[in-house]
Chain A
Amino acid sequence: MTFFSWPLAIGYLILAPFIGGFFDGLDRKISARMQGRTGPSVFQSFYDVSKLLQKESKMVNHLQQFLVCGFLVFVVFTGVLFFAGADLLMIFFALTLAGIFYVLQASSANAPFSALAVQRELMQMMAYEPMVLLTAVGFYVVTGSFAVREISLADRSAICLMPGFFLGFIFIMIIKLRKSPFDVSTGHHAHQEVVQGLNSDLSGPVMALVEVSHWYENVFLYGVIGLFILNNQLWSVPVALVVCFLVFFLEILIDNVCARVKWQLMFRSTWIFTIIAGVINLLVLILFHLGVK
């Protein structure tokens, strides 16, 4: 049986901000504990957003507001498509489109820090996009379908045949979750170099929209992690949830251990890792005729 259907998509639409916001707070709490600090409340993200909503909005231009809304809409669109069980390629392209809106938003501000952040964000996208597309291809080779619904109905979990893709996806999640590298990151840490990255020229309610979009995005990303585990057995659902949680913990650990990664290292290591983990896994699948034809 599959859970990927419209009711789940509607559930995502309503619940993702709460789940995403809670895990964002949990993330900060666990990070703080790893650093030997008490850390903020797990509901801190909600406090932050509710405060931002009450602040005055100082817009640089009106286009920016429109583009931020575009970012939110397309991130939500991506997630809804995913949880409705639609085509994985379309989902990843929608995610990229959302990313482009986010970048355009900053470049429209025409400010030095935003411009720098735009360059680095584009660099980041170049670093992680190959792995994202490879993941979609990998799912196709293994299950014979791009549809999330059918992938989740496979006889055995996709991860059995695509461990390399799984590791590669975890690797790019570090970038997607805005954890590392520190000189692009727009996370809630003191270790950022480019002021606030793409958010430098946002304030008040518009900034709150960006935060909420990130929550939606994060829930979707962990959904993809879950998709590696899901199969047509019911027990795969709790296993998928446990794996998601372990990956969540692992990402925080990586963030805290590699706090000083710069974008050059990120760029090189991501491509090398993509080739080692993703491409080799794909070659093995094709050469040995594993997976569904």
Chain B
Amino acid sequence: MLKVSVDKINDLFRAIAATQKLYLPVDTNAGAQYREWSEGVTMSQALNTNRSAKDFFFPQTENLAEFKMEGKKIEVKPQVNEYEDYVVFGVRACDAASFAILDRVFLSEPVDTFYAHRREHGTIITLACNRPAETCFCTTFGVDPAVPGGDVSAWQKGEELYLEAQTEKGEKLLQAVAGALSQAESEDIEPVKAAIRVMMEKLPLAKLSLKGIEDQKMLDLFYSDKWNALSESCLGCGTCTFVCPTCQCYDVRDFDTGNGIQRFRCWDSCMYSDFTKMAHGNIRNSQMERFRQRFMHKLVYFPENNEGIYSCVGCGRCLAKCPIHMNIVKVIKTMGGTENE
């Protein structure tokens, strides 16, 4: 265990930024967002960023290849990126847990190399949640905000920030910036952890459980008539999918640069009407069907294929951001999720 005093935290940031890019949550007009740290940049005190940390590995748009077309000939030029090492500071436990879910998609064979490279080059420093929000329910998915994962975990206790490496990558980073840190005892942060756990238990969603959904059959849930009422007001805006740290659907598109064709991928949303539209029809014509797909995927299909792991980490973003106040918690409760005693 190492520590740095909060008023000297810039020494730590400076030491990290001396060798690689450092990103951390910063307050902007559009809420807290990850930004590159430079001298004078201060960290946001917001509980979490507006957009999730998935952007670091799976950016909203990225180029895949360029095509040079000449007469009947085509030349393929795969996108070559210079990947540099970088550090993300201040990732919360929920977002850190989302990486393991994204890994299951992008790192399974055949590996998505763009994602893999970004993942390899990034070192994640997480930050335990001293002030969880009413919309938080990460514990429902087995996330412990008192031990937030990542390559290095950090805890704030009074005027001190404690850091502990969780992986080899984290170990290396802490060694490299050892000059900015001093030794500390692991026991020092036990009270912080205990306090977080007490706070979590008092949150309104603390007792949310998926037991009642787990016990139902996939097809029974799918054909449930409850989806109609749940999806009735959904605008199909896709906000919930874009802010979600575990949503990973994408589109592949071409763009004429005037100098060739650029193929890129960008986020897409199963909430959009053209997501499954083909020349001769659409398998999901109504918003109910699209809405059902999003939640069935997170709560039933994904766990079915991934040893019971849900594709939700309880970050609460969709609770805070949906314009009609629909969200996964309402879905869980309506579909049979229970409040544990």
A interacts with B: no
* Interface residues in chain A, defined as those with a beta carbon under 8 Å from any beta carbon in chain B: none
* Interface residues in chain B, defined as those with a beta carbon under 8 Å from any beta carbon in chain A: none
